[in-house]
Amino acid sequence: MVIDGIEFDSKAEGAYYLTVQNEWADGWTRQERFEIVKAFRCGHKRYAHATYRPDFVHRTNGVIDKVVDVKGGNVTLTTDARLRMKLFMMRYDIPITIARYDYHSGIFEEELI
Number of domains composing the chain: 1
Whether the CB-CB separation of 55 and 16 falls below 8 Å is answered with yes
pLDDT of residue 1: 87
> What confidence score (pLDDT) does residue 52 get?
97
Task: Determine the pLDDT at residue 24.
Answer: 75
3-state per-residue secondary structure call for 23-51: HHHHCEEECCCEEEECCEEECCEEECCEE
pLDDT of residue 68: 97
Bridge partners of residue 69, in order along the sequence: 98
pLDDT of residue 84: 97
What CATH number corresponds to the domain at position 13?
3.40.1350.10
In order of 31, 48, 56, 68, 93, the CA distances from 17 in angstroms are 12, 32, 9, 11, 24
Tell me: the pLDDT tens digits for 19-77? 988 877 788 999 999 999 999 999 999 999 999 999 999 999 999 999 999 998 777 78
Domain region containing 56? 2-112
